[in-house]
Amino acid sequence: MRLIVTFAIGGMPWVDASVASMRDYASKVGADFHEVKWFPDESRKPYNGNPVWAFVDFLKRFREQDYYKEVLVLDCDVLILPSCPNLFETRGDLVCALDQAWTTKDDRYKKWIAKYYPDSTENDSGVDDPYFNAGVLLFRLDALRSLNFDPPYPDEMGYDQDFLNMRTAEAGIDITWIGEEYNQRNVNDRQWTLANNHILHLVGGGKERLMDYADFLGIWKDHGQ
């Protein structure tokens, strides 16, 4: 069985549009969909109370079950376009795309690892090694169970994305790299964007563009009501 999950903790006006596209996609590819809306205080304690770590907490819990064999984890600021193929048909322990801003494990990443995980084998990685964006990740259950989710969970930029890049490398996870069209943050040209991409990722500011695209495509049926 397949699961698609996103994390919408806190009031964010674009979430309904994002979630609508995910529900449509889940129905298309035969997956269940789950929206995480809360991260209770008790669950937050190991993570310095920071809700950004809800993603990692979920993955830790997910690997304890046997019903779902694969999970597609999506940021709540992505919009899945109707053209998107079935990612679950892509082979690999982990399916993901390069981060368009930080494409490699550069000096910033290396300093973060050295500061918080001095014993990690990632301290020996090259600054040109590929670095994935955690906004669109498809994990197979067996691979997920091989990851080390032990703390610390730093309260510093990099957060879960640096953590997962590190832990997947330590475990020797087989990564299938998909193109930027599955995690596209360059969305200013609507004609080009819709013709050449499958998943849009509205990182940082400009979330209103996500709602604009959803309205244009008729994805967000309840917008303005």
Task: For 129-166, write each residue's pLDDT tens digit.
Answer: 999 999 999 999 999 999 999 999 999 999 999 999 99
Q: Can you tell me the distance from the alpha carbon of 174 to that of 94, in angstroms, rounded to the nearest whole number?
A: 6
The number of CA neighbours under 13 Å toward the Cβ of 147 is: 27
- For residue 113, pLDDT over 90 is answered with yes
Would you call the peptide bond into 82 cis, given omega within 30 degrees of 0 as the criterion?
no
CB 214 within 8 A of CB 190: no
pLDDT in tens, 6-31: 998 877 788 999 999 999 999 999 99
Whole-structure pTM over 0.85, yes or no? yes
Q: How many residues does the chain have?
A: 225
Query: How large is the angle between the packed helices 159-171 and 107-116, nearest 10 degrees?
Result: 80
Q: Can you tell me the distance from the alpha carbon of 201 to that of 183, in angstroms, rounded to the nearest whole number?
A: 6
Torsion-angle region of residue 60: left (phi > 0), alpha (psi -120 to 50) or beta? alpha
Q: Where are the alpha helices (DSSP H) in the chain?
A: 15-29, 41-44, 54-62, 107-116, 141-144, 159-171, 190-196, 208-217
SS3 36: strand
Q: Can you tell me the distance from the alpha carbon of 170 to that of 179, in angstroms, rounded to the nearest whole number?
A: 23
Domains and CATH numbers, the chain: 2-217 (3.90.550.10)
Where does the pLDDT of residue 221 fall: very low under 50, low under 70, confident under 90, or very high at 90 and above?
low
